[in-house]
Amino acid sequence: MLRGPGFLRPDLTFSAMAMVQTGLDASWHRCQHEYGLDPAAAPLPDVLSGAELRQACLHMGRLLHFAGPEMERLHAALAPVGYTVMLSDMDGIVLTHQAAGALRRGCRRWHFWPGAVWNERHAGTNGIGTCLAEQRSISVHRNQHWRSSLHGLAGIATPVYDASGRMAGALNASSFRPSPDGSLGVLIASNLLQAAHQIEQTCFMDRYRGHAIMLLGNAVGASVPLVALDRDRHVVGATHAARAQMGIPPLTDVSMCLLDDTATPAPTAPLREAQTMAIHTALASARGKVAVAARMLGVSRSTLHRRIRNIAEQEQAGTRS
């Protein structure tokens, strides 16, 4: 069984820029037809009062605290190339940022600052707002912004998830003097994804402190598939990616036996993949010893042997087809 932060090193085998989808047609369509925004209008995003910003920070809860170290790490990596790091909530409100001293005047000028409201409905197509609207990682470079007044900016954003599998906000890196070709996009996207993973993992492990934590494979987008198991080896918590694998909506209470012997989900059911990954993880942790892996999973050896045979049969059937 996997415990503690040491095992949480998911393999980033996917392309970072593949996760930062660049198709912005839907966003531009919303700006024109749903929001009725004039692209030539020049207003910058609104900025909240100090009291309103404090209220928004309180509503974000402990995630804001756990994001601090990752924000600092991102700042150290991206400040030398002229990027400011920001964390927003689901309303597009910038709650905190990290900016180099030489960039702070420009950050204030362009509202890369706590309290700025970068939601898409008012600011048009932009990194934070469009990431929140479409709930996916996204890049908006220079004239890809809806408002022409923002054509000198660049922003890359990725979702941030809390311990209950809910999208809590967006992690963003923005610049008011980006390179014309956006050549730093891959570096920035990779750093943002790693930071989003770590924030989610830290939130999850804090909430389920004292539980066994199991990793169900590699990260999927901005989320890492983790489940928390109680002493009876029932699943009592799951991250966004793990819920997607098991077919459980965000925020829904989780209480299930991952290897329920009374259930027989179809081979294509999302739960089947989660069960298979749990078995592989337990066997790897137990160094192939079925008895030890069975204790980890809270099932009998006979049940685990049966599940292993089922997995082998399904893999053989898939190979033949």
The CATH number assigned to the domain holding 80 equals 3.30.450.40
On whether the CB atoms of residues 137 and 131 are closer than 8 A, the answer is yes
Residue 3 has pLDDT above 90, yes or no: no
Residue of 129 and 313 predicted with greater confidence: 129
Output DSSP code: residue 145: S
pTM: 0.81
**pLDDT for position 247:** 83
Report the candidate in 273, 271, 270, 258 with the shortest Cα–Cα distance to residue 227.
258
Checking if the pLDDT of 116 tops 70, the result is yes
Domain assignment of residue 251, yes or no? no
The mean pLDDT of the chain is 85
For residue 115, pLDDT over 50 is answered with: yes
| 159 & 269 share domain | no
Please check the confidence at residue 4 and state whether its pLDDT lies above 50.
Answer: no
In a domain, 53, yes or no: yes
More confident residue, 110 or 15: 110
Domain with 312, as residue range(s), is 258-321
- In this structure, of 80-84, 110-114, 211-215, 308-312, the range with the lowest mean pLDDT score is 308-312
Q: Is the same domain home to 167 and 291?
A: no
**175 lies in the same domain as 300:** no
pLDDT in tens, 236-276: 999 999 999 888 888 888 877 666 555 444 444 556 666 77
Residue 214 lies in a domain: no
Which H/E stretch holds residue 274? helix 270-285
pLDDT of residue 16: 45
Q: Do 263 and 152 share a structural domain?
A: no
Domain-located, residue 248: no
Same domain, 321 and 194: no
Please determine, for residue 7, whether its predicted confidence score (pLDDT) is greater than 70. no
Tokens of 177: 């003097």
Total tally of structural domains belonging to the chain: 2
pLDDT 10s digits, 155-204? 999 999 999 999 999 999 999 999 988 888 888 999 999 999 999 999 99
In this structure, what DSSP letter does residue 266 have? -
The answer to whether residue 59 is domain-embedded is yes
Amino acid letter at 144? Q
